[in-house]
Homo-oligomer: A and B are copies of this chain.
């Protein structure tokens, strides 16, 4: 049990480290040679170009103007300055909605803190149960918590009333926020300029036809069944192999660049390399000649493969992007069932071109259901049994077995200092590595489930990650034990006992979670702004690969909001806040600080750093709401379990109403708002169509849509650049400098690498 002092100490350490991160950030960001790391967004927008202003050579790399260092927190007000509509234009709707999650946290937890501190803390302190039971181990903190109320006391009514008040407050805020996000989304969709996905539907599971090609079949089917609306379509090629080839060539290009740079700097010696694996084995050859030849070879292979794909009917997948004459036609086709067999001719809104996840477009229906089953089972085992393989690796990774495998290391390992370090370090490393690659594992699982857009993949991974955090971090910390052990306990305990078992441990874990919030939340968020990894990689690339200004642009890694991992983490804080709001209100201010700090940092990041990969129009909000509702229900059940052990059993029925109400609230909101995130109302489509027909009667939609949904490796002209140009011409928010524009600012990761190469 930690005392007040311990918590203050931990707080001081974490505040200091957060402060240190901010100071480091303030210094680094002011150095011109870091400019592209900390302001890549502006470079991508073309508003900022490499710092070439007059001044000495040193000044080009280091900021010598000391006055700027004094205002080292000046980014904070700057981050708040940009108004929301402008921010949507600048950073995208998804990003703006994402940072609204932090605002939501503030809206929920600031009033909750105030209320809890003005009502529950006095009630708890004057409970004086712990003072009279000196035999119990407790800390000063516990005096502020529900533990300080004697069993059977009438004071629990205060907690019950507060539980109701908190629930209704959260209902109110959630409802208002959902309504707001929905109307923002509708306004956003309505205000958007013409985009290919507005007119296009993704058709999957096109049935095979003995007499027609896929393309003919699609054309005939839609000309017949959507006669006035069908415009054109684009079949999907299986270009996964070609993508691999392009990928490989790109890596070789990097090596070539590296050796060319080396040669330029030291023209006396032509660099050499070895032809074998990773340049470690094989015969030594002239590096530049070797890679030039290899790249030539790859280009040839690519051309052959490209030829094969276009001519081979087997390379055409039974899927197509079908475009319509109007948004109305596309909305109708996306929302209706086409064929009497509901597993054929599946139609869905097409994702944005840059949001498409191409490899998944051709999975047949039966395979899809089997994949989902397998992934569900896999997720279950991953969540509850992930400790088993890690324990196995840990049992192998001890000093004896290392010495056996690598006998030559023995003298080093046997040194006392190193030995103790390795012994302390080894057991943790397997777990650490697992946790680092976990998001990748989850994303791979989601990909295996066959989702066709990056946005849906991220949403899916996020829900998997949330389950993992809930079971292993939240429950795992409260009832210390592996998830598997806990599962075993729960299976052998009665349904009404599970909340009790978990509930009684909750007050005891408050200090642990307070520390967790400070380390993971406060310091973690402050570290986010430093961008250490991109900083290092940028400077490495800059040193070894960059030849031209254009290369330098490619060396920038603006990154993006990683919804799949960061949203579940926020949800964990919501869960902690809701669970502890009634039990240990002392935890709430820490949550409030987390949300406030995060809001500042991420608002700064989306303005200056992150480059959005795709735009889903805030399609993830229903998932955010769903997980918040789940957190509310968990909090209510645990409170019920906790209070029932306090001889206040008559309060159980009173509390039982809350989860029922919460479930009802969930369905109410779902029915009320969710459709706006899934379907496109015909009325809105019709309004936009009519408007557009009136303003641009002669627009040639067919030409506009022709190449929109071509696989990125086939892009002859860079479509997405054109798209952004269009948008910006219509919304001249900021003066643009096209000269310095990056080639494919808005394309998906998979696509951008391939397509930017095509242009060579």
Interface of A toward B, CB cutoff 8 Å: 186, 221, 224-226, 228, 328, 331-332, 335-340, 342-343, 345, 365-366, 369, 372-373, 377, 490-497, 660, 664, 667-668, 671-676, 679-684, 686
Which residue of chain B has its CB nearest to the CB of A669? B369
User: Across chains A and B, which 3 residue pairs bring their CB atoms closest together, nearest first?
Assistant: A342-B675, A491-B496, A373-B664
Interfacial chain B residues near A372, Cβ < 8 Å = 667
B332 touches A369 (CB 8 A): no
Give Cα A676–Cα B681 distance, bound, in whole angstroms: 23
A228 touches B228 (CB 8 A): yes
Q: Which of B366, B676, B683 contacts A225 (CB 8 A)?
A: B683
A491 touches B494 (CB 8 A): yes
Residues A494 and B492 in contact in the complex (CB < 8 Å), given A340-B684, A664-B373:
yes
Interfacial chain B residues near A494, Cβ < 8 Å = 491-495, 497
Give Cα A683–Cα B221 distance, bound, in whole angstroms: 9
Q: What's the nearest-Cβ distance from chain B to residue A93, in Å?
A: 16
Residues A336 and B225 in contact in the complex (CB < 8 Å), given A342-B675, A667-B369, A671-B365:
no
Residues A342 and B672 in contact in the complex (CB < 8 Å), given A337-B682, A373-B664:
yes
A224 touches B671 (CB 8 A): no
Interfacial chain B residues near A672, Cβ < 8 Å = 342-343, 365
B497 touches A682 (CB 8 A): no
Give Cα A339–Cα B365 distance, bound, in whole angstroms: 31
Give Cα A487–Cα B494 distance, bound, in whole angstroms: 12
23 pairs across A/B with beta carbons < 8 Å? A186-B340, A224-B686, A335-B335, A337-B675, A337-B682, A338-B682, A338-B683, A340-B683, A342-B671, A342-B672, A342-B681, A343-B671, A343-B672, A365-B671, A365-B672, A369-B668, A373-B664, A490-B495, A491-B495, A492-B494, A492-B496, A493-B494, A494-B497
Q: What's the nearest-Cβ distance from chain B to residue A457, in Å?
A: 20
B343 touches A681 (CB 8 A): no
B336 touches A335 (CB 8 A): yes
Q: What's the nearest-Cβ distance from chain B to residue A205, in Å?
A: 12
Give Cα A491–Cα B637 distance, bound, in whole angstroms: 14
B679 touches A336 (CB 8 A): yes
B342 touches A682 (CB 8 A): no
Give Cα A336–Cα B686 distance, bound, in whole angstroms: 13
Interfacial chain B residues near A228, Cβ < 8 Å = 228
Give Cα A696–Cα B306 distance, bound, in whole angstroms: 52
Which residue of chain B has its CB nearest to the CB of A675? B342
Residue of A496, A667, A674, A683 with most partner-chain B CB within 10 A: A683
Give Cα A372–Cα B665 distance, bound, in whole angstroms: 12
Give Cα A667–Cα B376 distance, bound, in whole angstroms: 13
Interfacial chain B residues near A186, Cβ < 8 Å = 340
Interfacial chain B residues near A684, Cβ < 8 Å = 340
Residues A660 and B225 in contact in the complex (CB < 8 Å), given A339-B681, A497-B492, A682-B336:
no
B495 touches A683 (CB 8 A): no
Give Cα A564–Cα B683 distance, bound, in whole angstroms: 38
Give Cα A365–Cα B672 distance, bound, in whole angstroms: 9
Residue of A373, A497, A681 with most partner-chain B CB within 10 A: A681
B336 touches A676 (CB 8 A): no
Give Cα A336–Cα B221 distance, bound, in whole angstroms: 20
Interfacial chain B residues near A679, Cβ < 8 Å = 336-337, 342
Q: Which of B342, B366, B664, B681 contacts A337 (CB 8 A)?
A: B681
Give Cα A95–Cα B33 distance, bound, in whole angstroms: 80
B332 touches A676 (CB 8 A): no
- For the complex with contacts A225-B682, A492-B496, 10 further pairs of A-B residues with Cβ separation under 8 Å are A224-B686, A225-B328, A332-B336, A337-B680, A338-B682, A366-B668, A372-B667, A490-B495, A491-B496, A494-B494
Interfacial chain B residues near A365, Cβ < 8 Å = 671-672
Q: Which of B331, B339, B369, B673 contacts A336 (CB 8 A)?
A: B331
Interfacial chain B residues near A491, Cβ < 8 Å = 494-496
Which residue of chain B has its CB nearest to the CB of A332? B332
A664 touches B369 (CB 8 A): yes
Residue of A335, A340, A377 with most partner-chain B CB within 10 A: A340
Which residue of chain B has its CB nearest to the CB of A226? B682
Interfacial chain B residues near A490, Cβ < 8 Å = 495
Which residue of chain B has its CB nearest to the CB of A343? B672
Interfacial chain B residues near A339, Cβ < 8 Å = 681, 683
B660 touches A377 (CB 8 A): yes
Q: What's the nearest-Cβ distance from chain B to residue A660, in Å?
A: 7
Give Cα A730–Cα B676 distance, bound, in whole angstroms: 45
Q: What's the nearest-Cβ distance from chain B to residue A180, in Å?
A: 14
Q: What's the nearest-Cβ distance from chain B to residue A129, in Å?
A: 28
Give Cα A680–Cα B342 distance, bound, in whole angstroms: 10
Q: What's the nearest-Cβ distance from chain B to residue A134, in Å?
A: 34
Q: What's the nearest-Cβ distance from chain B to residue A102, in Å?
A: 27
Give Cα A226–Cα B491 distance, bound, in whole angstroms: 55
Give Cα A497–Cα B373 distance, bound, in whole angstroms: 26
Interfacial chain B residues near A664, Cβ < 8 Å = 369, 373
Which residue of chain B has its CB nearest to the CB of A335? B336
Q: What's the nearest-Cβ distance from chain B to residue A487, in Å?
A: 10
B340 touches A337 (CB 8 A): no
Give Cα A196–Cα B225 distance, bound, in whole angstroms: 22
Which residue of chain B has its CB nearest to the CB of A183? B340
Give Cα A339–Cα B680 distance, bound, in whole angstroms: 9
B340 touches A681 (CB 8 A): yes
A681 touches B493 (CB 8 A): no
B497 touches A369 (CB 8 A): no
Interfacial chain B residues near A226, Cβ < 8 Å = 682
Give Cα A339–Cα B687 distance, bound, in whole angstroms: 11
Interfacial chain B residues near A675, Cβ < 8 Å = 337, 342
Q: What's the nearest-Cβ distance from chain B to residue A277, in Å?
A: 43
B492 touches A342 (CB 8 A): no
Q: What's the nearest-Cβ distance from chain B to residue A687, in Å?
A: 9
Interfacial chain B residues near A335, Cβ < 8 Å = 335-337
Q: What's the nearest-Cβ distance from chain B to residue A183, in Å?
A: 8
Give Cα A377–Cα B373 distance, bound, in whole angstroms: 33
Which residue of chain B has its CB nearest to the CB of A661? B373
Give Cα A188–Cα B680 distance, bound, in whole angstroms: 32
Give Cα A681–Cα B675 distance, bound, in whole angstroms: 21
Q: What's the nearest-Cβ distance from chain B to residue A107, in Å?
A: 24
Which residue of chain B has its CB nearest to the CB of A673? B342
Give Cα A359–Cα B626 distance, bound, in whole angstroms: 34
Give Cα A114–Cα B675 distance, bound, in whole angstroms: 51
Interfacial chain B residues near A495, Cβ < 8 Å = 490-491, 493-495
Residues A342 and B683 in contact in the complex (CB < 8 Å), given A335-B336, A335-B337:
no
Give Cα A610–Cα B340 distance, bound, in whole angstroms: 31
Which residue of chain B has its CB nearest to the CB of A489? B494
